A and B are shown apart, each in its own frame.
Chain A
Amino acid sequence: QSALTQPAAVSGSPGQSITISCTGTSRDVGAYNFVSWFQLHPGKAPKLLISDVSERPSGVSNRFSGSKSGNTASLTISGLQADDEADYYCCSYVDSTNIWVFGGGTKLTVL
Chain B
Amino acid sequence: EVQLVESGGSLVQPGGSLRLSCAASGFIFTDHYMDWVRQAPGKGLEWVGRIRNSGSGYATEYAAAVKGRFTISRDDSQNSLFLQMNSLKAEDTAVYYCARDSKSHEIDYWGQGTRVIVSS
Residues of A within 8 A of B (CB): 1, 3, 34, 36, 38, 40, 43-48, 51-52, 57, 89, 91, 93, 98-105
Contacts and interface: CB of A to CB of B under 8 A. Distances in A.
B106 interface: yes
Interface stretch (B9-17, B78-86, B108-116): B108-116
A91 B112 CA distance: 18
Given A46-B97, A98-B61, A99-B63, A36 B45 contact: no
8 contacts: A1-B63, A38-B45, A45-B97, A91-B47, A98-B61, A100-B47, A100-B50, A102-B45
Smallest CB-CB A-B distances: 7 pairs: A105-B44, A102-B45, A100-B47, A98-B61, A46-B110, A45-B110, A104-B44
B110 A52 contact: no
Contacts of B61: 98-99
A45 B47 CA distance: 15
A89 B61 CA distance: 21
Interface in B67-120: 97, 99, 102, 104, 106-113
B108 A57 contact: yes
B112 A45 contact: yes
B112 A103 contact: no
Contact of B44 (A34, A48, A99, A102): A102
B106 A1 contact: no
Contacts of B112: 43-45
Contacts of A98: 50, 61
B106 A36 contact: yes
A89 B64 contact: no
A56 to B, nearest CB: 12
A34 B110 CA distance: 18
Given A98-B61, A99-B62, 16 more contacts: A1-B63, A36-B107, A38-B45, A45-B97, A45-B109, A45-B112, A48-B109, A51-B102, A52-B106, A91-B107, A99-B63, A100-B47, A100-B107, A102-B37, A102-B44, A105-B45
B101 to A, nearest CB: 10
Contacts of B109: 45, 48
